Amino acid sequence: MRLAGQEEYGVLAEVLVRGYEGIRFEEVHREALPFLPSAGARVLDIGAGSGRDAAALVARGFRVVAVEPTDELRELARHLHPEPGIEWIEGALPDVAGVEGQFGFVLLSAVWMHLDEGQRDTAMVRLGELVTPGGSLVMTLRHGPVSPGRRMFDVPAQETIELARARGLAVVHRSHHGDRMGRPDISWDALVFRAAE
C-alpha cells in the first residue's frame, strides 16, 4: 500500500515513532483544536504514523479510524496505543481503500507532501467524499529540503486551497510556522477546510 519512495519509513519506524511521540498532539495541531467537532463524532486520521494523534483524539471522546500504509509504523502504533476507540486500517491516499462513510473531522498530518500532482487531484476528490457536510479537513504542508531516499513534493498552500475549493471545501484557517521538531530548515503550513453544509 505504501507509495514508492516511502520504504525508509519502515526501516526507520522505531526512530520515527520516538520523534513523533516526543511532541504532544495539542502542540502539533494547536491551529486545528478550535475546529474539532462535538465529542462522539467520527474522526479519520490518514497517515496515522505512531498513533499519537489518534490516541489524543480518542481521549477527547472521538471514535477514530486510523489509516497507515507502513506496516512497521502501524504495528508499533497499535502496541503503543491499544485504545479500543481506534480502528486501524492499512491504506493510503489517493483512494484510502477500506474506509467507509463520512467523518466530522479528517486529519492529514505530514501526508500531502508525498503525493504528486495527479495523486493530489484524485485524493482531494476522495477527501471531499469523506468529510461530512459542515465537517473539517485539516492538513499540514511541509516545506524544506528532502532527505535522500524519500519521495516528497513542496506543495504550495495556494494550490491546495484552490484544489479543495473545487471540491466544495472552503479554507477557514491558514497559518505558517516553524518545525515543531526543531529542524531549522523545515517549515509548515497548517490549513483547515470546511465542507459545505
Among 94, 106, 66, 67, which Cα is nearest to 195's? 106
Name the grid cell of 43. Answer: 474522526
Helix residue ranges per DSSP H, 109-193: 117-130, 157-165
Q: Which residue has the higher pLDDT, 19 or 131?
A: 131
Q: What Rg, from alpha-carbon coordinates, does the chain have? A: 15
- For residues 36 and 53, give the distance between their C-alpha atoms in angstroms, rounded to a whole number: 13
Q: What is the mean pLDDT of residues 168-193?
A: 93
CB atoms within 10 A of CB 17: 20
Helix residue ranges per DSSP H, the chain: 7-11, 13-21, 25-28, 52-59, 71-80, 117-130, 157-165
pLDDT (tens digit per residue) in 21-79: 667 899 989 999 999 999 999 999 999 988 999 999 999 999 999 999 888 888 889 99
Q: For the chain, give the percent of residues with pLDDT over 70.
A: 89
The answer to whether residues 96 and 126 touch, using CB atoms and an 8 Å cutoff, is yes
Name the grid cell of 93. Answer: 491516499
| CA 137 centroid distance within chain | 9
Provide the pLDDT confidence category of residue 10 given band limits of 50, 70 and 90: very low
Residue 18 clears pLDDT 80, i.e. is over it: no
Q: Give the single-character DSSP code of 2.
A: P
What integer pLDDT is reported at residue 189 of this predicted model? 96
